[in-house]
Amino acid sequence: MQLFEDTSVRIAMSKFTIEQKTHTTAEVFYLNGFLDAHTAPQLESAIAGAISEGKNKIVVNFNNLEYISSAGLGVFMVFIEEVRAEGGDIKLTAMKPKVFTVFDLLGFPMLFDITDTEDEALTKFAS
């Protein structure tokens, strides 16, 4: 248990990063690390920032996300109606099975467009 007493290790463990890229058809967010009640506010402000700039077509790429709890899922619930009302959407893509399980438990596939690949999500926005 000594491992967890080391502050530098603890900071490294709780790492969550977001990379944002503007594609011609949508704004894409790449999530990396662990998304929980501690890190979810970071994602919420990143998406809120894009929406405030009028970017309503959003793709969230989960390829490098290792973990999600319901606090992470809640972020998408906050914005989904708003972006759809303005003709946009939040499409979720490239989830690892462990991450998809959590979305599936709560019935999110019924409400959200979840695709296997980023290209698929971008193509849907283009059409």
Partner 1 sequence: MHPERLAAIGDTTELERIRQFVEVKARSFGFSEPGIHKIALAVDEACSNLIRHSYQSDTSREFYVDIAEQDPNAFVIEISDTGTAFDPLNVPAPNLREYAAQHRKGGFGVHIIRMVMDAVEYLPADPAHPFNRLKLVKHLS
Phi then psi dihedrals of residue 91, to 5 deg: -105, 135
Q: Which of residues 65-104 bind partner 1 (CB under 8 A)?
A: 67, 69-71, 73-75, 77-82, 98, 101-102
Q: How long, in residues, is the chain?
A: 127
Q: Three-state DSSP class for 117?
A: coil
| CB closer to partner 1 out of 105 and 126 | 105
CB of 46 to partner 1, least distance (A): 15
Question: Is residue 49 a contact point for partner 1 (CB under 8 A)?
Answer: no
DSSP 25: S
How far is residue 110's CA from residue 46's CA, in Å, rounded to a whole number? Answer: 25
The footprint of partner 1 (CB under 8 A) covers 4, 10, 13-14, 34, 36-38, 44, 67, 69-71, 73-75, 77-82, 98, 101-102, 105-108, 110-111
